[in-house]
Amino acid sequence: MKVDYIIVGLGLAGLAFAEKLLEEGKTFLVYEDASQNSSIVAAGAYNPVILKRFTPVWDAEDQLKLAKPFYDKLEKKLQQKLDYELTILRIFKSIEEQNDWFMACDKPFFSNYMIPKVIPNQNENVIAPFGSGRIKNIGKIDAKTLIDSYKSYLIAEDLLINETFDHFSIILNDNELIYKEVIAKRIVFCEGYGIKKNPFFNDVPVMGAKGELLTIYAPNLKVDEMLKSAVFVMPIGDDMYKVGATFNWTDKTITPTDAGKEELIEKLSKVITSEYKIIDHNAGVRPTTKDRRPILGKHKTHKQLAILNGLGTRGVLLAPKMAQKLFEHLENDQPLDKEITIDRFYG
């Protein structure tokens, strides 16, 4: 079999690159082995405001311009609701934070998202003595439904192979490569934290930040906006909420832990007072990088091999634009911006 591309990994990165290839009439095959699951467990929020410091997310406006139509198109193609409107109540810890909020609201970038008001708390089950600031015009993608449906779509089109890609079976020739029975022009590795097992790119500084999440059933809570305080509490319907997320820089497994659960329970007790039942507990490793920017580009010597990684904590917003940038680079020799190119690590 002959294809233009092999894609390794079907998280948000691999999915966005596959979509770009389809749009451009290129042929491909995807290998996926469910060894990582960052995209599947992600809360899926997209929000151009950094909630800790009230500063803009890098390049967010531009990423949003591509992301909205990208997910709209996928909703139609997959016949699934994927993109949900969201507002966030950022719970203030102090009067100083209220002041910081108003200062940020004055900046032109934020006027479309941050409402210059302190919203008093009227829900007796929520702890917010200093009130909250509301963020609007943002949303969340149901990333699990997206990945599951896209996988089914690729299987139906004979474009997905459910197996671990074996890097040692690649035979590299001058202008193409052979992998088992497949001849391809290029491979794009979209392996998330799985990149650590890739002998061609395992020196690239993807650090990995494990995140754990709980799904809870809290029938008395009655909150219909996402709360952000010590943890986030995101309503997902039927009195269920996602609660997260932890950041662990040492454990690189995708197994949920008791310690992660305890941390979330402890932090949740500072946000809500109503009773709840834990329904589910998940974990994944975010493919984070030291400089908090994605990593795109070709291998330093094997130009048929490329990487799309480092989406970190913001895969929903980043994936569509990064897939487009990488495609333009590989097919049309468009240079990659210095913040995102893999060349920044090659010296």
Ligand X SMILES: Cc1cc2nc3c(=O)[nH]c(=O)nc-3n(C[C@H](O)[C@H](O)[C@H](O)COP(=O)(O)OP(=O)(O)OC[C@H]3O[C@@H](n4cnc5c(N)ncnc54)[C@H](O)[C@@H]3O)c2cc1C
Residues of this chain that interact with ligand X (CB under 6 A) are 8-14, 31-36, 38-39, 41-46, 164-165, 190-194, 211, 213, 244-245, 284, 286-287, 309, 311-317
Pairing of the two strands 2-8 and 182-189: parallel
DSSP state of 110: G
Least distance CB 220 / ligand X (angstroms) = 25
Residue pair 230/271 in contact by the 8 Å Cβ criterion: yes
Rounded Cα distance between 252 and 21, Å, is 31
CB of 25 to ligand X, least distance (A): 23
Quote the strand ranges of the chain, DSSP E: 2-8, 28-31, 45-46, 49-50, 55-56, 83-91, 132-141, 160-161, 170-172, 177-179, 182-189, 209-217, 226-228, 232-237, 240-244, 277-286, 295-298, 305-309
Helix (H, G, I), strand (E, B) or coil at 189: strand
Minimum Å gap between C-beta 21 and ligand X is 15
Q: How far is the CB of 16 from ligand X (least distance, A)?
A: 8
Q: Name the residue nearer to ligand X (CB basis): 125 or 215.
A: 215
- Least distance to ligand X, CB of residue 204, Å: 13
For residue 328, what are its two tokens? 């333009």
Phi then psi for residue 254, to 5 deg, are: -100, 20
As a whole number of angstroms, the longest Cα–Cα distance in the chain is: 67
Roughly what angle, to the nearest 10 degrees, separates helices 143-156 and 12-23?
A: 50
CB 127 to ligand X: min, Å = 22
Residue number with CB closer to ligand X (92 or 142): 142
53 or 347: whose CB is closer to ligand X? Answer: 53
Peptide bond into 319 cis (omega under 30): no
Q: For the purposes of burial, counting CB atoms within 10 Å of the CB of 118, is it exposed (0-12), middle (13-18) or buried (19 or more)? A: middle
**Which residue in 164, 203, 207 sits closest to 299, CA to CA?**
203
Least distance to ligand X from the beta carbon of 189, Å? 8
Nearer to ligand X, 10 or 227 (CB): 10
Report strand pairing: 305-309 vs 182-189: parallel
Nearer to ligand X, 131 or 330 (CB): 330
Residue 190 CA to residue 281 CA, distance in Å, equals 25
DSSP 275: -
Least Å from the CB of residue 128 to ligand X? 21
Q: Which is nearer to ligand X, 35 or 257 (CB)?
A: 35
CB nearer ligand X, residue 59 or residue 191: 191
Which CB, 101 or 193, lies closer to ligand X?
193
In this complex, which beta carbon is closest to ligand X, that of residue 165 or of residue 327?
165
Rounded least distance, CB 40 to ligand X, Å: 7
